[in-house]
Amino acid sequence: MATELANLADDLRLGALQLGLDLSSLQQQQLMDYLALLTKWNKAYNLTAVREPAEMVSRHLLDSLSVVPQAEQGGARWLDVGSGGGMPGIPLAIMFPERNFTLLDSNGKKTRFLTQVKLELKLANVEVVHSRVEQFTPPQPFSDITSRAFSSLEDFANWTRHLSDADTRWLAMKGVHPDDELQALPTDFQLDCCAVLKVPGCQGQRHLLILRRTS
Protein backbone atom coordinates (compact mmCIF):
# COMPACT_ATOMS: atom_id res chain seq x y z
CA MET A 1 0.00 0.00 0.00
CA ALA A 2 2.82 2.40 0.89
CA THR A 3 4.49 1.72 -2.46
CA GLU A 4 1.23 2.33 -4.32
CA LEU A 5 0.71 5.64 -2.51
CA ALA A 6 4.28 6.69 -3.31
CA ASN A 7 3.71 5.87 -6.97
CA LEU A 8 0.48 7.86 -7.03
CA ALA A 9 2.22 10.79 -5.38
CA ASP A 10 4.99 10.63 -8.00
CA ASP A 11 2.40 10.51 -10.80
CA LEU A 12 0.73 13.59 -9.37
CA ARG A 13 3.96 15.54 -8.86
CA LEU A 14 5.38 14.68 -12.29
CA GLY A 15 2.07 15.31 -14.02
CA ALA A 16 1.80 18.70 -12.36
CA LEU A 17 5.33 19.54 -13.53
CA GLN A 18 4.29 18.70 -17.09
CA LEU A 19 1.49 21.23 -16.64
CA GLY A 20 4.06 23.80 -15.50
CA LEU A 21 3.05 23.57 -11.84
CA ASP A 22 5.53 23.05 -9.02
CA LEU A 23 3.34 21.87 -6.15
CA SER A 24 4.30 22.86 -2.62
CA SER A 25 4.56 20.06 -0.07
CA LEU A 26 1.27 21.21 1.47
CA GLN A 27 -0.52 21.27 -1.90
CA GLN A 28 0.85 17.84 -2.75
CA GLN A 29 -0.32 16.43 0.60
CA GLN A 30 -3.77 18.02 0.37
CA LEU A 31 -4.30 16.68 -3.14
CA MET A 32 -3.25 13.19 -2.05
CA ASP A 33 -5.54 13.39 0.99
CA TYR A 34 -8.36 14.45 -1.32
CA LEU A 35 -7.63 11.49 -3.58
CA ALA A 36 -7.78 9.14 -0.57
CA LEU A 37 -11.15 10.55 0.50
CA LEU A 38 -12.51 10.38 -3.04
CA THR A 39 -11.44 6.73 -3.33
CA LYS A 40 -12.93 5.82 0.05
CA TRP A 41 -16.27 7.63 -0.32
CA ASN A 42 -16.72 6.61 -3.94
CA LYS A 43 -17.31 3.01 -2.87
CA ALA A 44 -20.51 3.99 -1.06
CA TYR A 45 -21.57 7.27 -2.68
CA ASN A 46 -20.75 6.61 -6.36
CA LEU A 47 -19.13 10.03 -6.79
CA THR A 48 -17.37 9.10 -10.03
CA ALA A 49 -17.39 6.25 -12.52
CA VAL A 50 -13.59 6.17 -12.28
CA ARG A 51 -12.68 3.49 -9.72
CA GLU A 52 -8.89 3.18 -9.88
CA PRO A 53 -6.87 5.73 -7.87
CA ALA A 54 -4.17 5.85 -10.57
CA GLU A 55 -6.80 6.81 -13.13
CA MET A 56 -8.24 9.39 -10.74
CA VAL A 57 -4.86 11.12 -10.64
CA SER A 58 -4.97 11.87 -14.36
CA ARG A 59 -8.70 12.12 -15.06
CA HIS A 60 -9.63 14.12 -11.96
CA LEU A 61 -6.64 15.75 -10.25
CA LEU A 62 -4.46 16.61 -13.25
CA ASP A 63 -7.50 17.41 -15.38
CA SER A 64 -8.61 19.96 -12.77
CA LEU A 65 -5.09 21.35 -12.40
CA SER A 66 -4.81 21.83 -16.17
CA VAL A 67 -6.93 25.01 -15.93
CA VAL A 68 -4.68 26.69 -13.35
CA PRO A 69 -2.96 28.98 -15.94
CA GLN A 70 -6.35 30.42 -16.94
CA ALA A 71 -7.55 30.45 -13.33
CA GLU A 72 -4.58 32.61 -12.34
CA GLN A 73 -6.18 35.47 -14.27
CA GLY A 74 -9.41 35.18 -12.27
CA GLY A 75 -10.84 37.08 -9.35
CA ALA A 76 -11.42 36.43 -5.66
CA ARG A 77 -14.86 34.77 -5.61
CA TRP A 78 -15.35 31.48 -7.45
CA LEU A 79 -18.38 29.26 -7.94
CA ASP A 80 -18.06 25.62 -9.03
CA VAL A 81 -21.48 24.64 -10.41
CA GLY A 82 -22.51 20.99 -10.21
CA SER A 83 -19.31 20.33 -8.30
CA GLY A 84 -20.13 16.65 -7.76
CA GLY A 85 -17.02 15.03 -6.34
CA GLY A 86 -15.31 18.44 -6.18
CA MET A 87 -13.70 18.86 -9.58
CA PRO A 88 -12.31 21.34 -10.38
CA GLY A 89 -13.35 23.25 -7.22
CA ILE A 90 -11.33 21.38 -4.60
CA PRO A 91 -8.02 21.27 -6.54
CA LEU A 92 -8.40 24.96 -7.44
CA ALA A 93 -9.12 25.85 -3.80
CA ILE A 94 -5.93 24.01 -2.83
CA MET A 95 -3.93 25.89 -5.47
CA PHE A 96 -5.41 29.31 -4.62
CA PRO A 97 -5.84 29.46 -0.83
CA GLU A 98 -6.19 33.25 -0.97
CA ARG A 99 -9.42 33.00 -2.99
CA ASN A 100 -12.90 31.91 -1.92
CA PHE A 101 -14.58 28.93 -3.58
CA THR A 102 -18.26 28.02 -3.34
CA LEU A 103 -18.98 24.42 -4.35
CA LEU A 104 -22.60 23.99 -5.39
CA ASP A 105 -24.46 20.74 -6.00
CA SER A 106 -28.09 19.62 -5.76
CA ASN A 107 -27.14 16.08 -4.66
CA GLY A 108 -27.05 15.76 -0.88
CA LYS A 109 -24.65 12.81 -0.86
CA LYS A 110 -22.15 14.77 -2.89
CA THR A 111 -22.39 17.90 -0.72
CA ARG A 112 -21.90 15.74 2.39
CA PHE A 113 -18.73 14.39 0.83
CA LEU A 114 -17.54 17.89 -0.08
CA THR A 115 -18.19 19.08 3.47
CA GLN A 116 -16.06 16.21 4.79
CA VAL A 117 -13.26 17.15 2.36
CA LYS A 118 -13.43 20.77 3.53
CA LEU A 119 -13.15 19.68 7.18
CA GLU A 120 -10.43 17.07 6.80
CA LEU A 121 -8.26 19.17 4.48
CA LYS A 122 -8.90 22.29 6.60
CA LEU A 123 -9.92 24.32 3.55
CA ALA A 124 -11.05 27.55 5.16
CA ASN A 125 -11.57 29.11 1.72
CA VAL A 126 -14.28 26.61 0.71
CA GLU A 127 -18.04 26.89 1.22
CA VAL A 128 -20.30 23.96 0.31
CA VAL A 129 -23.88 24.69 -0.77
CA HIS A 130 -26.62 22.09 -1.29
CA SER A 131 -28.98 23.71 -3.77
CA ARG A 132 -30.17 23.79 -7.34
CA VAL A 133 -28.29 26.52 -9.17
CA GLU A 134 -31.50 28.27 -10.30
CA GLN A 135 -32.55 28.68 -6.64
CA PHE A 136 -29.18 29.81 -5.31
CA THR A 137 -29.08 33.48 -4.27
CA PRO A 138 -25.70 34.49 -2.81
CA PRO A 139 -25.17 37.89 -1.19
CA GLN A 140 -22.89 39.07 -4.00
CA PRO A 141 -21.95 38.01 -7.54
CA PHE A 142 -19.03 35.76 -8.41
CA SER A 143 -15.91 36.81 -10.31
CA ASP A 144 -15.58 33.39 -11.95
CA ILE A 145 -18.07 30.56 -12.50
CA THR A 146 -16.69 27.18 -13.47
CA SER A 147 -18.10 23.80 -14.39
CA ARG A 148 -16.60 20.50 -15.41
CA ALA A 149 -19.60 18.23 -15.75
CA PHE A 150 -22.47 20.61 -16.45
CA SER A 151 -24.89 20.22 -19.34
CA SER A 152 -24.88 22.48 -22.40
CA LEU A 153 -23.16 25.86 -22.58
CA GLU A 154 -26.59 27.40 -23.17
CA ASP A 155 -27.93 26.02 -19.88
CA PHE A 156 -24.69 26.87 -18.08
CA ALA A 157 -25.03 30.50 -19.17
CA ASN A 158 -28.77 30.85 -18.60
CA TRP A 159 -28.89 29.12 -15.21
CA THR A 160 -26.00 31.13 -13.75
CA ARG A 161 -26.48 34.60 -15.24
CA HIS A 162 -28.19 35.78 -12.01
CA LEU A 163 -24.95 34.97 -10.15
CA SER A 164 -22.78 37.31 -12.23
CA ASP A 165 -21.91 40.92 -12.83
CA ALA A 166 -20.40 42.72 -15.83
CA ASP A 167 -16.90 41.37 -15.12
CA THR A 168 -17.71 37.70 -14.45
CA ARG A 169 -15.98 34.98 -16.45
CA TRP A 170 -17.49 31.56 -17.15
CA LEU A 171 -14.97 28.70 -17.43
CA ALA A 172 -16.48 25.58 -19.00
CA MET A 173 -14.38 22.42 -19.17
CA LYS A 174 -15.32 20.32 -22.18
CA GLY A 175 -14.04 17.34 -24.15
CA VAL A 176 -14.40 17.74 -27.90
CA HIS A 177 -14.73 21.37 -29.01
CA PRO A 178 -18.52 22.01 -28.72
CA ASP A 179 -19.27 23.90 -31.95
CA ASP A 180 -23.02 23.24 -31.78
CA GLU A 181 -23.22 24.42 -28.17
CA LEU A 182 -21.42 27.64 -29.02
CA GLN A 183 -23.92 28.32 -31.81
CA ALA A 184 -26.73 27.99 -29.24
CA LEU A 185 -25.24 30.44 -26.71
CA PRO A 186 -27.61 33.19 -25.50
CA THR A 187 -27.20 36.36 -27.57
CA ASP A 188 -25.68 38.29 -24.66
CA PHE A 189 -22.86 35.76 -24.19
CA GLN A 190 -19.74 35.37 -26.30
CA LEU A 191 -16.69 33.13 -26.39
CA ASP A 192 -13.76 35.08 -24.97
CA CYS A 193 -11.14 32.41 -25.65
CA CYS A 194 -10.66 28.67 -25.95
CA ALA A 195 -7.67 26.80 -24.56
CA VAL A 196 -6.68 23.30 -25.63
CA LEU A 197 -5.80 21.38 -22.48
CA LYS A 198 -3.05 18.79 -22.54
CA VAL A 199 -3.67 16.56 -19.53
CA PRO A 200 -0.90 14.07 -18.67
CA GLY A 201 -2.27 10.52 -18.81
CA CYS A 202 -5.49 11.49 -20.62
CA GLN A 203 -5.95 10.47 -24.25
CA GLY A 204 -9.14 12.29 -25.21
CA GLN A 205 -9.55 15.89 -26.28
CA ARG A 206 -9.95 18.51 -23.56
CA HIS A 207 -10.90 22.16 -24.00
CA LEU A 208 -11.50 25.07 -21.66
CA LEU A 209 -13.97 27.64 -22.99
CA ILE A 210 -14.05 31.04 -21.33
CA LEU A 211 -17.26 33.02 -21.80
CA ARG A 212 -18.22 36.58 -20.97
CA ARG A 213 -21.38 38.63 -21.11
CA THR A 214 -21.59 41.25 -23.87
CA SER A 215 -24.09 43.42 -22.01
Alpha carbon distance 158, 173 (integer Å): 17
The strand pairing partners of 171, in sequence order, are 146, 210
Indicate the DSSP class of residue 20. Answer: T
* Range 62-73 average pLDDT: 97
Which amino acid is residue 130, in one-letter code? H
Q: What is the pLDDT of residues 165-200, one digit of tens each?
A: 999 999 999 999 999 999 999 999 999 999 999 999
CB 143 within 8 A of CB 167: yes
What's the 3-state SS for 67-79? CHHHHCCCCCEEE
CB 38 within 8 A of CB 84: no
The closest of 139, 161, 162 to 211, measured between CA atoms, is: 161
Alpha carbon distance 161, 177 (integer Å): 22
Virtual CA dihedral for 186, 151, 145, 191, nearest 10 degrees?
Answer: -40
CB 148 within 8 A of CB 208: no
Confidence of residue 5 (pLDDT cuts 50, 70, 90): confident
- Quick one: what percent of the chain has pLDDT higher than 70? 99
- Reply yes or no on whether the pLDDT at 2 is more than 70: no
Sign of CA dihedral 149, 155, 157, 160: negative
Q: What is the pLDDT of residues 10-55, one digit of tens each?
A: 999 999 999 999 999 999 999 999 999 999 999 888 888 888 988 8
Confidence of residue 85 (pLDDT cuts 50, 70, 90): very high
Residue 154: strand, helix, or coil:
helix
H-run or E-run covering 209: strand 207-213
